[in-house]
Amino acid sequence: MFFRNRFGKVAGTALLTGALVFAGAAGTTMASDRSDQVSKEKAASDKAAKLRSSLEGVSADLANSVIALENAKDAQKSAQGAYDEAVRVQAGAAREQAQAQDQLEVATAQLKQVEKALAASQERESENLSNIGKVARETYTNPSLGGTFEFFISDKNSGDLSTYARNAQLAAQMQSDSLKSVQNQIVGQKNSQAEQRELTSQVRKLKEQADAALQAADGAKADKETKLEELNQTLEEKKKQEAELDAKKGEISKQLAEAEKDQQAARERIMQIDAQNRSSQAASSSSSASSGSASSGNAGSSSAGYMAGGIFQAPIKGPLHLTSPFGYRIHPVTGQRRLHMGADIAAGCGLPQYAAANGTVVSTRYEGTGGNTVTINHGMLGGSSWISVYRHMTQFATSPGAQVSKGQLIGYTGATGRVTGCHVHFELWKNGTVINPIPLP
């Protein structure tokens, strides 16, 4: 009874409850793991896109060298993290397996104690039964005890008979009570034995599961260790890549300087267009009529477009995913801080691009770092001079001097110029100064 109360109810319940909690937690963990994996993949994709964008302005071979080095670093870091996690999981599995082993040993030992106590009680039961029979026989036949048979052939009186009967009844009752006590004890011990056998069986199953988990964890750890060793062997290759990039910093800096010149030339062209817009406005007899005419490039409140609520619409249809926003960014090799004059939007090669508002196409030409570029003058809108620029196109769908409407096709997404892949590069200039085009004005 001691074991059933102390271990069978407490430890047994704890073990089974633990198994159920583990099963529930496993489902939750799997869902959490899937969510974490999705988040990690998105973070990796965003990081890669940001890296590619930061490398604009240098040739493809130099950009690919930087990307290869960063990929090698990320792979090693990921492998190290995976190995560290495998070590943690293996250590946890080893602890659980050791606990399961301890619990199985305790349960087995307790089962042996219960079975030993049951065997002792059964032996006492057999002994009591034998004693009861022995008392009955001796009471009836043994002359020294005044047995019933001897009483009838003797000259004992009725008083002696009464005393004998009481003594015989008392002796038999004592033996019977002792037998019932032992039999009740046996019933309880058999129940304890059944409970303990069931508990021991369940503990053994948990132990088998823990053994399998440990074996799997050992295998995963060994696999991650092998992969980590393989990646660590590429350290020399990584050092070689770093040395090559270090030697190419001069060339990279030179190309970035050329890209800066391209940007400056773009600024000067935009400033010229802006000056023309202001001059036209000043020469106009009515700025309101001028800003509302088609020739001025006014977007107008009734202009067609798939994005409402603003002067401009996005250059592509559908949801916008920025791979590199407008603003300053640090070059991963030189550490130079450079202004990214537009917003880079994820888009596949050949995806159509559209005019952000009504206007006049100023130029469609190759502009060095910017590749195939479309520049549209939208004239004076709301008292400000506006110009939009679309870079890296693979093909033009308009020409200089063309009057375009908001949402009209002007070209197709590409990767011309010094970029690492197809995407939309969209710029907005207000009063001769480049601004953040997202959100749209």
Instruction: Please report which confidence band the pLDDT of residue 2 belongs to, taking 50, 70 and 90 as the band edges.
Output: very low
- Comparing 331 with 346, the larger pLDDT belongs to 346
Class of domain 248-435: mainly beta
User: Does the predicted TM-score (pTM) go above 0.85?
Assistant: no
Q: Give 430 or 241, the one with higher predicted confidence.
A: 430
Q: Where are the domains of the chain?
A: 2-233, 248-435
CA atoms within 13 A on the CB side of 110: 29
Please report the pLDDT score of residue 13 as a whole number. 45
Which pLDDT score, from 0 to 100, does residue 150 have?
A: 53
Chain centroid offset of residue 423 CA: 28
Cα dist. 426→360, 375, 437 in Å? 17, 10, 7
Res 320: pLDDT: 92
Highest mean pLDDT among 109-123, 155-169, 283-297: 109-123
**pLDDT tens figures, 72-128:** 777 777 777 777 887 888 788 788 878 878 887 887 787 778 777 778 777 777 777
Structure tokens belonging to residue 107:
């349960």
Band of pLDDT at residue 420, cut at 50, 70 and 90: confident
Find out whether 105 and 200 touch, Cβ atoms under 8 Å. Answer: no
